[in-house]
């Protein structure tokens, strides 16, 4: 059984949650917040393809990108926007970071065991 696939599923779920929360934070206004949500979601959409294909390199740089979204969610939370969308963004970025790091570690370990 490949346990790394569970970590990959956590990373993908976190990725999708962060994308959804960015648009929830933008709300229905068609102003600068919507443009910001679109710009912020572009790296997540780009990494989603590589994560779905279980690419190790994508998981590595997506883990670093997750830190940016974690920082963004923390700034929104500290600034007083304590909404459900901020909570989803915070939880999603943590899930994405943990999932990508654990996937990279476990996948390397499983591939090494398969070669032996």
- Which is more confident, 27 or 18? 18
Determine the pLDDT at residue 83. Answer: 81
Determine the pLDDT at residue 29. Answer: 62
Instruction: Delimit the domains of the chain by residue range.
Output: 4-115
| Mean pLDDT score across all residues of the chain | 90
Predicted confidence (pLDDT) per residue in 72-112, tens digit: 899 988 987 778 888 999 999 999 999 999 999 998 888 88
To 10 degrees, what angle do helices 4-26 and 56-78 make? 40
Q: Which residues of 73-87 are buried (b: 16+ CB within 10 A; e: fewer)?
A: beebeeeeeeeebbe
Closest alpha carbon to 63 in 25, 96, 106: 96
């Amino acid at each position: 059984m490949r346990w790394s696939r569970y970590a990959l599923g956590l990373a993908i779920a976190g990725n999708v949650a962060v994308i959804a929360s960015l648009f929830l934070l933008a709300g229905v206004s068609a102003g600068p917040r919507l443009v910001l949500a679109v710009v912020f979601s572009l790296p997540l959409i780009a990494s989603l393809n590589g994560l779905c294909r279980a690419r190790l390199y994508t998981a590595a740089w997506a883990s670093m990108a997750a830190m940016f979204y974690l920082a963004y969610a923390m700034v929104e939370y500290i600034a007083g926007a304590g909404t459900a969308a901020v909570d989803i963004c915070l939880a999603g970025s943590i899930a994405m970071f943990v999932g990508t790091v654990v996937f990279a570690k476990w996948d390397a370990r499983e591939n090494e065991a398969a070669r032996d």
